[in-house]
Amino acid sequence: MGCGAPLPADQTAKAPPATGSSAPKTAAERGFTGVFLPTGTLEEPAGFAQWPNTPWPKSPPFTPAGAAESQRLNDHGNFTACAPGGPVFHMWEVGLFPIQLLEAPGQLVIQREASGLVRRIYLDGRAHPPDDEIVATWNGHSVGTWDGDVLVVDTVGTNGRARAANGVGSNAKPSSLDSDPRFPVSDALHLVERFRLVANNELLEDEMTIEDPKYYTEKVVLKHYFQRRPDIDMLEYFCGDNPRRD
Amino acid sequence: MRAPLHLPLVLAVLATTSTALAHHSFAVFDRTKKVTLTGTVKDFQWTNPHTWIQVVIADDKGNATEWGVECGSPNMMARTGWKKTSLKAGDRVTAVVNPLLDGRPNGSLVTITLADGTVLGPGDAPPPKPLGAQ
């Protein structure tokens, strides 16, 4: 390739051959880096039939506080439109904006295009800070460990103010876009995710177990899929550029 | 799959999705109604979280009304055929929009026909790829 020739969108993102028991150690060598597009659309939020996204329950197991917060957020004046989504919304959107997984020594970073914040997942064996030392943030504190070919990510320390996922990307229909419940998570969120590559390494599966005793009486388990899309370049997105509300 | 929808409605729905997710709710728009606006572009705001087209419409009596037309983000629009140069002040366009419920001159773009006849949607998801196609 000569000087000045355009580079492919993401040379590191080609799907690697499926690996067996001799899986390499880095996230990149395992195929866990690159640009991915969330599967599903509003019309077909399940995405690919063979690998369907799990819908949120029609009647989420809200605690009274969770139900009240969900109801409060149905008033559109009660949330900050450009607020970050937190780790759940970050991984829970139909395929409008891509995500990119980038690896640095000891950490995997997940950037969602439509967010100025990243999820930083420490892979160096550290634990979460003690409760009284953790700095609550929008995306929380995440640590990851490998369980065979599955990356298990444990997240705590969210600030409870993230923009809530709504019916879009779950089980909503267009006509009920704004009548489906919001799915808030509180600062008591404990999110456990199991990431694995499926469909010949073309899909990244994120099985989320949402444990939040303030807002939900039981765990909510959801699967969401992301399709590897090396043809897409991530772009910059600053939500506050033109915050018209008319 | 749901029953087939005609294209403009699909585009309208996609516009609704984009905005509901990325910014404020589009519940303020009447998605059952379409208004056709033929006029002159006053301003093209190629901005996040949403692009806006200001269009000036003249009625039979010569009264001018300025409409705000909301689209997707530049990122989504660029992936679906738009460029920052697709519109400029002075261009004559015909836009189909879902209007605001409260009657103010503001709408969510469904389709727009540019001066050269190009038809573009509101800007939504990147073109899909079937599994195993890449």
Q: Determine the average pLDDT of the residues in B121-127.
A: 90
Cβ–Cβ gap A95/B126 under 8 Å: yes
Interface of B with A in 12-31 (CB under 8 A): 13-14, 16-18, 20-27, 31
**Residue B22 — very low, low, confident or very high, per pLDDT cuts 50/70/90?**
very low
Q: What is the DSSP string of B40-75?
A: EEEEEE--SS--EEEEEEE-TTS-EEEEEEE---HH
Cβ–Cβ gap A242/B73 under 8 Å: no
For residue A209, what pLDDT is reported? Answer: 97
> Is residue A124's pLDDT more than 60?
yes
Q: Looking at per-residue confidence, does A190 or A89 come out higher?
A: A190
Give Cβ neighbours of residue A73 (< 8 Å, ≥ 6 apart). A79, A164, A166, A182, A184
Please tell me which residue of chain A has the smallest CA distance to B105: A246
Q: Determine the average pLDDT of the residues in A59-80.
A: 84
Region of A169 on the Ramachandran plot (φ > 0 left; ψ -120 to 50 alpha; else beta): left
* Cβ atoms of B125 and A41 closer than 8 Å: yes
Nearest residue, CB atoms, B68 vs list A82, A231, A246: A246
Region of A67 on the Ramachandran plot (φ > 0 left; ψ -120 to 50 alpha; else beta): alpha
Query: pLDDT tens across B32-52, in order?
Result: 899 999 999 999 999 998 999
What value does the CA radius of gyration of chain A take, rounded to a whole number of Å? 18
Instruction: Tell me what ipTM this predicted complex has.
Output: 0.79
Q: How many CB atoms lie within 10 A of CB A190?
A: 18
Classify B120 as helix, strand or coil: strand
Cβ–Cβ gap A76/B24 under 8 Å: yes
Domain ranges of chain B: 7-120
Where are any strands of DSSP class E within chain B? Answer: 35-45, 52-58, 64-70, 92-99, 106-113, 119-120
Distance CA A33, CA B70 (A): 34
All residues of chain A having their beta carbon less than 8 Å from the beta carbon of residue B69 are none
Three-state SS annotation for A221-232:
EEEEEEEECCCC
> Is residue B79's pLDDT more than 50?
yes
B129 touches A at CB < 8 Å: yes
CATH architecture of B7-120: Beta Barrel (2.40)
All residues of chain B having their beta carbon less than 8 Å from the beta carbon of residue A16 are none
- Range of weakest confidence among A28-42, A67-81, A109-123: A67-81
Mean pLDDT of chain B: 83
Q: Determine the average pLDDT of the residues in A25-47.
A: 90
Region of B9 on the Ramachandran plot (φ > 0 left; ψ -120 to 50 alpha; else beta): alpha
Q: Looking at per-residue confidence, does A3 or A28 come out higher?
A: A28
Q: How far is CA A47 from CA A42, A53, A98, A180, B72, in A?
A: 10, 6, 15, 19, 21
Q: Looking at per-residue confidence, does B19 or A27 come out higher?
A: A27
**Residue A56 — very low, low, confident or very high, per pLDDT cuts 50/70/90?**
confident
| DSSP designation for A233 | P
Which one of B2, B10, B21 would you mutate to disrupt binding with A, by most A Cβ within 10 Å of its Cβ? B21
**Residue A14 — very low, low, confident or very high, per pLDDT cuts 50/70/90?**
low
Nearest residue, CB atoms, A177 vs list B16, B49, B129: B16
Looking at chain B, the number of H-run helices and the number of E-run strands are: 2, 6
B128 touches A at CB < 8 Å: yes
Query: pLDDT tens across A158-181, in order?
Result: 999 988 877 554 444 443 445 567
For residue A233, what pLDDT is reported? Answer: 96
